[in-house]
Amino acid sequence: MNDKVYIHEFIDIIGANRARYMHHMTANWCPVALEERNQLCFGVWGTVGSTGRWPEVVNLWELDGWDGLVANFSHELSHDSLQDPSLAQWWAQAAALRRGGVDRIVVPEPWTEPIESLTARGVRGEVYAHELFTCRPGGAPAVLDHLASMARPAAEALGVTCVGAFEVAMVNQAECLAIWALPNWASWPHYEQAWASAGALRPWAEWLAAAGVGTARTLLVDAPLAPLRLGRQPLASDRRPLDQI
């Protein structure tokens, strides 16, 4: 049973700063977040631009349930600046690397494993498929139920692992998302072809269409210091000056 709550972020990067931003986020922020907020990094990925927005980074943060999320917000927003003063330098550096983004609070399906369980098992992908589902209000639970019963077994038969499935909070159950780890680039065309007319994922695709569910799939690649690549949380000892990235 996963009782965590997550912050999911789409981050718009300024120019050619994506590598610097990913390092700033993993090596410079993650150790502070763990120590001060008990916030774990689930993933930091770069979006494959030909499949979505570019340059873009996707972050996913794991907190100890709603109480952990409240503590995080209270720590960050109880100042007149609405920023943690101890992070003023970090924010200033981040501001030069990104222009903004879109965040979501997401709640995991009970079978979604916390990040420390995934890294302990050595779960990772060379590339990831990120799927955002939009549906009628109230429809997200049914989408996630069918994802677990239809899509997950079919994908696992292809060697693809669902590292997380989540309902988006605060939108009247009208969105959910899933992230799939593909073992290598060669497996991605097979995953795409499985959605076609004779593919193993076709029944899932047909159910989504019949239910009026929209699907937006993009590809992601791990940041060098992302937990699923490292097999652990990033450490302060991983830091390098940003001008060396």
Q: For position 170, what pLDDT does the model report?
A: 98
Ranges for all domains in the chain classified under CATH 3.30.70.100: 5-107, 115-222
Question: Would you give the end-to-end CA distance of the chain in angstroms?
Answer: 39
pLDDT in tens, 154-204: 999 999 999 999 999 999 999 999 999 999 999 999 999 999 989 999 999
For the chain, the average pLDDT equals 95
Mean pLDDT of 104-114: 98
- Our CA dihedral for 207, 149, 147, 174, rounded to 10 degrees, sits at 80
pLDDT in tens, 16-48: 999 999 999 999 999 999 999 999 999 999 999
- pLDDT band for 80, please (50, 70, 90 cuts): confident
Q: For position 134, what pLDDT does the model report?
A: 98
Q: Which CATH class is domain 5-107?
A: alpha beta
Share of the chain above pLDDT 90, in %: 89
**Ordered DSSP codes for 57-109:** EEEEEEESHHHHHHHHHHHHHSSTTSS-GGGHHHHHHHHTTEEEEEEEEEEE-
Q: Give the list of residues 6+ apart from residue 50 with CB closer than 8 angstroms, or none.
A: none
Architecture of domain 115-222: 2-Layer Sandwich (3.30)
Share of the chain above pLDDT 70, in %: 99
Confidence (pTM): 0.96
